[in-house]
Amino acid sequence: TCVDGNVTFNQVHLKYSEGDQGALYDISFEAKKGSVTGLIGSTGAGKTSLTGLLSRFYEATNGEVLIDDISVTDYSLETLRRNIGFVLQESFLFSSSIKANISFGKPEATMDEIVDAAKRAQAHDFIMELPDGYNTMLGERGMGLSGGQKQRIAIARAICINPSILILDDATSAVDMETEFQIQRALKEVMKGRTTFIIAHRISSLKYANQILVLEEGRIVERGNHDQLVSNNGPYQRIYEI
Ligand code: M5T
Ligand code: MG
pLDDT in tens, 124-169: 999 999 999 999 999 876 678 888 888 899 999 999 999 999 999 8
**Ligand with the closest atom to the CA of 57:** 1
Please give the mean pLDDT across all residues of the chain: 91
Separation of CA 46 and ligand 2 centre (Å): 7
DSSP 123: -
Separation of CA 50 and ligand 1 centre (Å): 9
Distance CA 38, CA 173 (A): 19
Q: Give the fold, CATH level 3, of 7-241.
A: Rossmann fold (3.40.50)
Separation of CA 48 and ligand 2 centre (Å): 4
The closest-lying atom of ligand 1 relative to the alpha carbon of residue 57 is 14
3-state secondary structure of 49: helix
Counting Cα atoms < 13 Å in the Cβ hemisphere of 4 gives: 12
The binding-site residues of ligand 1, defined as CB within 6 angstroms of any ligand atom, are 16, 23, 41, 43-49
The closest-lying atom of ligand 1 relative to the alpha carbon of residue 169 is 27
* Cβ atoms within 10 Å of 192's Cβ, excluding its own: 12
Whether pLDDT at 241 is above 80: no
Q: Where are the domains of the chain?
A: 7-241
What pTM does this model have?
Answer: 0.91
Separation of CA 220 and ligand 1 centre (Å): 15
Whether pLDDT at 201 is above 80: no
CA distances (Å), origin 43, targets 98, 169, 215 = 33, 13, 10
pLDDT at 169: 81
Contact 214, 223 (CB under 8 A): yes
Name residue 214's beta-bridge partners.
Answer: 40, 222
Question: pLDDT per residue over 107-127, tens digit each?
Answer: 999 999 999 999 999 999 999
The closest-lying atom of ligand 1 relative to the alpha carbon of residue 52 is 6
Closest by CA to 122, choosing from 198, 200, 179, is 179
